[in-house]
Amino acid sequence: MNSRHGTIIQLIVGIVLGVLVTLATIRVTDTKRMKDAKYGNWRKLNLILDQVDRNYVDTVDVVKMTDAAVTAALAKLDPHSVYMPPVQLQQSEADLAGNFDGIGIQFNVPNDTAIVLEVIPGGPSEKVGLQPGDRLLKVNDIVIAGVKYHQDSIVRRLKGPAGTKVNVTVKRDKEVIPFDITRGKIPVHSIDAAFMINDTTGYIRLSKFSRTTYQEFSTESLKLLGLGMKRLIFDLRENTGGYFDQALRLSNEFLERKDDIVYMEGRNRKKEDYRADGKGILKDIGLTVLIDENSASSSEIFAGAIQDNDRGVIVGRRSFGKGLVQEPIYFTDGSGVRLTVARFYTPSGRCIQKPYGDDYDYDIYNRYVGGEVFSVDSIKVNKNDVHTTSHGRTVYGGGGIVPDIFVPVDTTRASAFYLACNRKAIQMRYASAMFDKYRKRLLEIDNFEEMDRFLSRMNIPSSFVAFATKEGIVPARGEWARSEAYLLPQLKALVARYSKLGENAFYKYYLPVDETVNVALRSSSEVSY
């Protein structure tokens, strides 16, 4: 090669390298410019708030304005990425933590006075002598009876840090009794009820997926196995979800080794698969899962895993459709953000999350208006989003879990008498009156056989009609006869709830008129395919 060619090659190489360097410089510059622009956009919010603080005509509540700005910004994302001030965050986490600080009672407000339904065993209230049926008159010096005091406000006054004291005045029969109660740690149970419906069928109702859910579920399922359970009806209706790991552990109880449970994936989160380890103790138990339009999040993860693995039958109505993975971000002032970072997908690949648009907040309302909760033909599924279960059954995406067996909302029993009683909470007020009348006897009953005998002697039909009549609600001719099959079990459930049997008694007596449970009992717990 002569020197002239060598010089030309060097020149060409130099030009190419120069171009590459220039391109690289341009790319670096563009990337920096993009980062600077992005930073500038985010920084704009701080600049605006700073200008308001410096120059606004009136005094500014900086904390309130910052909270409003953050709330508004997150509202532009998805409906579940939210900012929570300290009090709200603390309450939210306490609801799922498995315990809270308080006095240890459950109550309702059927009219204008709170009535104790349950005194939690071992809690502060039991230790000082509070009893079911006690009417709450005052908390410290604040009168809360007869003044339509809001239930949430009563809860706030009763709760407080463990070790602090609160004075609660109650009315028991005709006697007014003050109690000094030292607040403590109160366990919160996520299982509302667990008992045998018949000789071989167990029933467990789960209200939420809290920190203690798996532990509670294991304890109750072992008891039912000992009583002869061959099949479980697992009720997740109204269960809005909770901790993800608890849904995984419950799913694992029923699935074989390497069965897929769920996977998650997001723009900045790589796909993560979760599978069963095959060590569950309920793999051979027949399973029916009950869901409705308020079953969400972890409930849907569990139901989706069971359905896609053809492990059991899903009965009820299409679930809510919340399948977003949220990570908490905490700030030093006690506030926090729950930020969506990924989505949940069932084993077949269905996205649990329903689309979110302008009518997202009205979705459940629209299901009623559009007839979805009344007719299976009105259920909205995405026919273009087709998936198959492990045994080849077709399932559709579009948000939520569509049940294998649909059960509509039952409107056939809503007589004028029943609706009028509901409006004035006559059933609950009657149950409270019956507890006042039979307090000593009810508090002694601790088994269902004895409760059955007691309730049969109460002559509930005639006493309830008389009670309703005094409240100005008189059944038309033949109306009680039409309503009795539905109302009588409900009244038994509400009265029995005041006994030591608690929520188990309520659901034991109420389930016979629960059509979803009846459909589940009539159907097989095995999937047809």
Which residue reads 């410019």 in tokens?
33
Do residues 356 and 375 touch, judged by C-beta distance below 8 A? no
Annotated active-site residue in 81, 190, 251, 297: 297
∠ CA 155-430-463 to the nearest 5 degrees? 170
Which residues, 6 or more positions from 203, have their beta carbon under 8 angstroms from its beta carbon? 193, 194, 195, 196, 197, 232, 233, 235, 507, 511, 517
Told to judge if 283 belongs to the known catalytic residues of this protein, a careful annotator would answer no
Task: From the candidates 260, 292, 308, 363, give the one annotated as an active-site residue.
Answer: 308
Q: Would you tell me how many other CB atoms lie within 10 Å of the CB of residue 228?
A: 12
Residue 103: Cβ within 10 Å count: 26
* Interatomic CA distance for residues 202 and 525, integer angstroms: 12
Neighbour tally for 424: CB within 10 Å: 15
Q: At 145, which amino acid appears?
A: A
Residues 71-79: contacts with CB within 8 Å, 24+ apart? 73/45, 74/337, 77/340, 78/324, 78/340, 78/356, 79/356, 79/360, 79/361
Of 292, 299, 322, 499, the catalytic one is 322
- Encoded amino acid at 343, one letter: R
231-235 vs 286-291, strand pairing mode: parallel
Q: How far is CA 66 from CA 73, 377, 494, in A?
A: 11, 47, 47
The phi, psi pair for 493, rounded to 5°, reads -60, -45
Report yes or no: 231 and 202 within 8 Å, Cβ to Cβ.
yes
CB-CB neighbours of 171 under 10 Å = 16
322 is known as an active-site residue: yes
Asked if 301 and 270 count as a contact pair (C-beta separation under 8 A), the reply is no
Active site residue 32: no
User: Which residue(s) pair with 340 in the sheet?
Assistant: 326
User: 290, 517 in Cβ contact below 8 A?
Assistant: yes
488 DSSP assignment: H
Write out the catalytic residue numbers. 297, 308, 322
